[in-house]
Structure 1
């Protein structure tokens, strides 16, 4: 074997090591350090949905093409536990995008706030109040940190919610009741809830349980977007607003299974909760949802083990930025491939990484042959 051939194979071997150990940043996950206890947690997977620029309601798309789907179902007044039933219609979830990828605030092409608009109609149809619910089509979101940018309606008589859900006794809620807002007294409550067996035993009145807290926000949630965050950890749940921790719950209501993520906006006239229905159409807007989590899917766990070769490498684990509405890992170059980002540009970048790598190999081999 000539020295040129030997050199060629040495380069190929080096590149093989490169592809297996330093392919991209964040190969070993995404980390947070909790405000309570200063503990570090690492999550293996991500979902990032920039609703200011991502249209998930385009009728030409397949169901859940970008990981989300507007729901279509009715609930009787008895099931909804109010004087009116609820109707969730895909027509009430409307993507209102900004064409410029570098602009994240302002009006969308349809007017009004850019983002995913969730509408509750004032008109009652067949004793049903029409609202909107959009959920992830996968239910493998286990422990993780889940964040949403939300501007809440100022029309009284609705409930706006960002929540993690498996069933009615395994649920983590952040809920806004617009009838509770009082500008004169500077009172803007947010309701933090773990729906559990305890709440079921209380007739699903979570306010009678230990896993319910009402917190008065230091800002008006109807005038601008703010980030609301759930840290679902193995032994507790932490709630945040704009990166300030609001509450910690660590009782028996902490879920023990995986679930999905949902954003919703509804009313059923229940005097003890949503009140309403609203006297005019009400709109709550979602600008993004970011989820960094451990998947319950064995295939995703195997993928993580395959790609995470050296957790101690400088860029193997990426710290999740504090409240930053415009930062998405899926918009950054050299991010780890094989992630569920549901982001067009990231998918295109991921497909380009391997051709670029092989181009390096071919260029190197041509240089060696030409010696």
Structure 2
């Protein structure tokens, strides 16, 4: 157990030898773990407000993949999918249903249904495959961090809705909902929390036979409204939350050791032991946002951090991350995302860039510091 004053920083903290105007959060964004009151600071962010952000190329949208998210298009045979049906992930099944008014964060989108990013699983089998949906970040530099998604899960039985961190099939952190498991008659609404690892691979990719699987019954119906589901990926453990309440903590060899990407997925393959289905009608799970506060694996981001973070102990240098605040984004506030990737300018119009840092970045040295 750690004392309540413990302070862990997992990113470079050397000072840069240049003049750079200070802004809030220039040294990162922090969480405190509930089990040991340990403080963790993450240097980078990606905040995606899918209620307003069009990632699929509709009217007024930026270029394909320009907001760090890309709808996926690929097929999986029934053998690879490990079910009686294959899976056809299509761009058409990832739908941005956006509200134009950027001050409105919930309600009906122009297509009908909840505004946000729709992930649709089709009910019509095509060439032995179920139409499915997946959107992923375009980069795989997301290392340790806290990753949060606002999700309203489909109520149509026969699909798997997932929010996960992924590098490969043995380096994966999953939050998965099986709609066939929901039972309103007795208020049973489980969520499956999984670390896919070498152990699960050796168990036929059945993590339920390992120590890295938990089925937790939620105290609410995840199909009635949006709730925040969260993964804290730390060097020695992974913590899972729903609406800021800790659900489970896992450690050991199943904790990933590499950077990866983030994915939102909705699928079915008819596997009686997991997704079941396919659904009898088209099914949509909707994502309102993803908020990622993390340590990048890119050396360029380490150097940038060393330049902009002059004094991590200065007031406002590190910003606490609010718990379950669906309408709060650091990117919407002035001077709280220095040298970060955002899709907002000062008054909310969309961009996607890192501001260039001074030449001193070239001479700044980065290191990994713990226990400050």
TM (norm. structure 1) is 0.88
Q: Tell me the equivalent position of 1:190.
A: 191
1:349, 1:297 → 2: CA distance? 17
Q: Retained in 1: the 8 A contact 2:151–2:285?
A: yes
Q: Tell me the equivalent position of 1:57.
A: 56
Q: Deviations over 1:22-44 (max 9, x none)?
A: 43110000000011111000000
Alignment of 1:104-253 (within 5 A): 104-253=105-254
Q: 2:280 is paired with a residue of what secondary structure?
A: coil
How many Å apart are 1:144 and its aligned residue? 0.1
2:105, 2:290 → 1: CA distance? 14
1:252, 1:336 → 2: CA distance? 34
**2:276 maps to 1:280:** no
How many Å apart are 1:154 and its aligned residue? 0.1
Rg (Cα) greater in structure: 1
Q: Deviations over 1:324-344 (max 9, x none)?
A: 000000000122332122345
How many Å apart are 1:196 and its aligned residue? 0.2
How many Å apart are 1:193 and its aligned residue? 0.0
Alignment of 1:17-96 (within 5 A): 20=19, 22-58=21-57, 61-96=62-97
How many Å apart are 1:346 and its aligned residue? 6.8
1:266, 1:220 → 2: CA distance? 20
Q: Deviations over 1:305-364 (max 9, x none)?
A: 010001111011000001100000000012233212234537669999x9xxxxxxxxxx
2:27, 2:62 → 1: CA distance? 32
Give the helix-richer structure, 1 or 2: 1
1:334, 1:349 → 2: CA distance? 16
In structure 2, stretches of 5+ residues that fail to align are 1-15, 358-372
Report the CA distance shift for 1:78/1:269 in structure 2 as closer, same or farther (over 3 A): same
2:70, 2:39 → 1: CA distance? 32
Q: 1:334 is paired with a residue of what secondary structure?
A: coil
1:93, 1:78 → 2: CA distance? 24
Q: Deviations over 1:62-102 (max 9, x none)?
A: 33100000000000000000000001000000000111111
Q: Retained in 1: the 8 A contact 2:29–2:41?
A: yes
1:104, 1:160 → 2: CA distance? 22
Report the CA distance shift for 1:166/1:342 in structure 2 as closer, same or farther (over 3 A): farther
TM (norm. structure 2) is 0.87
How many Å apart are 1:110 and its aligned residue? 1.2
Q: Retained in 2: the 8 A contact 1:66–1:343?
A: no
Q: Retained in 2: the 8 A contact 1:177–1:273?
A: yes
How many Å apart are 1:58 and its aligned residue? 1.1
In structure 1, stretches of 5+ residues that fail to align are 1-16, 355-371
1:151, 1:75 → 2: CA distance? 26
Q: RMSD of the TM alignment (CA)?
A: 2.0
Q: 1:274 is paired with a residue of what secondary structure?
A: coil
Report the CA distance shift for 1:336/1:222 in structure 2 as closer, same or farther (over 3 A): closer
Q: Retained in 2: the 8 A contact 1:71–1:133?
A: yes
Deviates more, 1:223-232 or 1:50-59: 50-59
1:349, 1:287 → 2: CA distance? 19
Q: Tell me the equivalent position of 1:300.
A: 301
2:114, 2:337 → 1: CA distance? 32
Q: Tell me the equivalent position of 2:364.
A: none
2:340, 2:349 → 1: CA distance? 9
1:155, 1:350 → 2: CA distance? 39
How many Å apart are 1:256 and its aligned residue? 0.1
Report the CA distance shift for 1:83/1:351 in structure 2 as closer, same or farther (over 3 A): closer
**2:317 maps to 1:316:** yes
2:153, 2:216 → 1: CA distance? 16
Q: 1:125 is paired with a residue of what secondary structure?
A: coil
Aligned length: 337
1:43, 1:336 → 2: CA distance? 13
Q: Retained in 2: the 8 A contact 1:23–1:336?
A: no
Q: Tell me the equivalent position of 2:366.
A: none
2:239, 2:354 → 1: CA distance? 37
Q: Retained in 2: the 8 A contact 1:159–1:274?
A: yes
